[in-house]
Amino acid sequence: MTAAAKIRTGIAGLDKMLHGGFVPGRPYIVSGPPGAGKTILAMQFLREGLEGGERCLFVALEEPPNELKINMRGFRWNLDDLDVLDANSDIRRFEPTPILEISTEEEPIKVRALGDRIRKTPDFESKEVTVHSLQQLLKTLLLKRNYERVVIDSITALKYFCMREFEEAVTTQSFMRYLAESKVTSLLTLELPEEGEVPPEAFLARGEIRLHKLRDETGIKRFISVEKYKGSSHDEFVYAFDITNAGIVLNTAA
Partner 1 sequence: MDRVKTGIVGLDTMLNGGLLPARPYVISGPTGSGKTILSAHFLLEGLGQHEPCLLVTLDEPPIEVKSNMATFGWNLDRLKILDATPDVRAHKRQRSVIDVGTALDVRDMEDVTEIRQSSGIRALEVNVHSVQKMIKQEFAHHLERTKERYKRIVIDSMTALKMFSMQGQDSRVLTQSFLRFLAELESTTLIVSERLDRKILETEFFLSRGEIRLHKWVDGSVVRRAISIEKFRVETRLIDEVSNVIESVMKGIEDAHRRQVPIRDVEVSLSRAMLAFQRRNYRKAMKIALGCDSDLKERLRQAPPAPPTAIPPRPPLVAR
Size of residue set near partner 1 by CB under 8 A = 40
For position 98 contacting partner 1 by CB under 8 A, the verdict is no
- Going 245 to 33 to 46 to 7, the CA torsion angle's sign is positive
Tell me: does residue 154 bind partner 1 (CB under 8 A). Answer: yes
**3-state DSSP call for residue 80?**
coil
Nearer to partner 1, 105 or 216 (CB): 216
The whole-angstrom separation of Cα 5 and Cα 243 is: 28
Instruction: Give CA 227 to chain center in angstroms.
Output: 17
**Could you tell me the smallest distance in angstroms from the CB atom of residue 134 to partner 1?**
15
| Total Cβ atoms within 10 A of residue 238 | 12
E strand or H helix that includes residue 140: helix 131-145
Per CB under 8 A, which of residues 2..61 are in contact with partner 1?
A: 33-35
* Least separation in angstroms between CB 241 and partner 1: 16
Concatenated DSSP letters for 2-24?
-GGGSB--S-HHHHHHTTTSBPT
Which is closer to partner 1, CB of 156 or CB of 182? 156
Q: Which is nearer to partner 1, 127 or 234 (CB)?
A: 127
Is 216 an interacting residue with respect to partner 1 (CB under 8 A)? no
Nearer to partner 1, 62 or 208 (CB): 62
Report, in Å, the least distance between residue 76 CB and partner 1. 7
The three-class DSSP label of residue 36 is coil
For the CA atoms of 187, 188, 194, 195, the dihedral, rounded to the nearest 10 degrees, stands at: -90
| Residue 99 lies near partner 1 (rule: CB under 8 A) | no
The beta strands (E) that lie in the chain are given as 27-32, 56-60, 83-86, 99-101, 109-110, 126-128, 149-153, 185-191, 207-216, 219-229, 239-244, 247-250
46, 187, 192, 204: residue in contact with partner 1 (rule CB under 8 A): 192
Task: Using the minimum distance from each CB to partner 1, give the nearer residue, 181 or 197.
Answer: 197
Question: Smaller CB distance to partner 1: residue 118 or 238?
Answer: 118
Between CA 222 and CA 184 the distance in angstroms is 29
- 123-152 residues in contact with partner 1 (CB under 8 A) are none
Chain contacts with partner 1 (rule: CB under 8 A): 33-35, 62-64, 67, 70-71, 73-74, 76, 88-92, 94, 117-118, 120-121, 154, 156-157, 160-161, 165, 191-197, 213, 215, 219-220, 245
